[in-house]
Chains A and B, each alone.
Chain A
Amino acid sequence: MATDILFYVLAALTLIFGALVVANPFSRNPVTSAMFLVLTIISMAGLFVLLHAFFLAAVQVLVYAGAVMVLFLFVIMLLDLKEEERRKIKLTGLVAGVVSVGAIVAIFVRSLLATKPSENLPAPTAVGDTATLGKMLFTNYLLPFEIVSILLLVAMVGVILLSKKDLK
């Protein structure tokens, strides 16, 4: 089926780009990592489209690939990170990280395969359309919506204070 093939292609792309974000054999430059994060996020937006969450796919590209990545790139270019490229990865840290991550993947995948989720669920029908979403956001979920807006305001003020040269 076409959606199955699309799912496997997008999943493979997401995993490959995600792996290149954290461990790129060709370049240790943080800018390369940030660029591969953009590709990861765009292929994840494709997965969201496959799951019929069209509005979220757009939001994912706008907010992550647009706003957050610009922030990351600005900070990377603001700081002089030449020495980071030469630094070697510590062997103990690498081994500990790989072992713990492998253990977590084994636990996740084993428990997922043991429980076999959604084996007898009906095929999905409903679609998350944007009009209903907006209505929900301004009626049932108005309080969390306002709390998030205040959180963003507080974060903005905090960021400006934190990155000022000298606090008075």
Chain B
Amino acid sequence: MTPLAGYLILSAMLFAIGLAGALTRRNAIIVLIGIELMLNAANLNFIAFWRFSEHPEALTGILFVIFSIGVAAAEAAVGLALIISIYRHYKTTNVDEVNLLKG
């Protein structure tokens, strides 16, 4: 197995773990944590492709991951604030019980 393939397979598995968390757990906070895991897997992909690219001196992968971490931090903060206001309204964080918009 080449080194790049190892990193890509690891990141695919980590993405799958995060997806499993977001799909199977019903606690909204754990769903957000699963999304964070998926974002981290994508970041690992960026770094691996940068490291084994033809022009690593361009640093594009690292710069992209820096922006991605910034966006992820903003996303986590907004998501948690939404969870707080949902909890105030429904007294629960179970994503199955928050179904007012469900037809």
Q: How far is the CA of A72 from the CA of B52 in the complex (A)?
A: 34
Q: Is the CB of A15 within 8 A of B25?
A: no
Contact for A22 among B2, B20, B76, B84, CB less than 8 A: B20
Q: How far is the CA of A37 from the CA of B25 in the complex (A)?
A: 15
Interface 1/0s, chain B 78-99, versus A by CB < 8 A? 1011111101100011100000
Instruction: Give the distance to chain B from A93, nearest Cβ to Cβ, in Å.
Output: 6
Contacts A75-B84, A155-B78, A158-B81; A108 near B6 (Cβ below 8 A)? no
Q: How large is the interface on A (under 10, 10 to 19, 20 to 34, 35 or more residues)?
A: 35 or more
Contacts A44-B40, A151-B70; A84 near B17 (Cβ below 8 A)? no
Q: Which residues of B contact A11 (CB under 8 A)?
A: 6, 10
Q: How many contacts between A and B, using CB within 8 angstroms? A: 223
Residues of chain A having any CB pair with chain B under 8 Å = 4, 7, 11, 14-15, 18-19, 21-23, 30, 33-34, 37, 40-41, 44, 47-48, 51-53, 55-56, 59-60, 63-64, 67-68, 71-72, 75-76, 78-79, 81, 83-84, 87, 89-90, 93-94, 96-98, 100-102, 104-105, 108-109, 112-113, 116-119, 121, 124-126, 128, 132-133, 136-137, 141, 144-145, 148, 151-152, 154-156, 158-159, 162-163, 165
12 contacts between A and B (CB under 8 A): A15-B13, A22-B30, A23-B20, A44-B44, A60-B69, A68-B36, A83-B92, A108-B12, A116-B2, A124-B51, A145-B67, A158-B78
Q: Which residues of A contact B50 (CB under 8 A)?
A: 51, 53, 128
Contact for B23 among A68, A93, A141, CB less than 8 A: A93
Q: Is the CB of A63 within 8 A of B73?
A: yes
Interface 1/0s, chain B 18-47, versus A by CB < 8 A? 111101111101101110110010011001
Instruction: Give the distance to chain B from A106, nearest Cβ to Cβ, in Å.
Output: 10
Q: Is the CB of B47 within 8 A of A126?
A: no
Q: How large is the interface on B (under 10, 10 to 19, 20 to 34, 35 or more residues)?
A: 35 or more
Q: Which residue of A lies closest to B87 (CB)?
A: A79
Instruction: Give the distance to chain A from B78, nearest Cβ to Cβ, in Å.
Output: 5
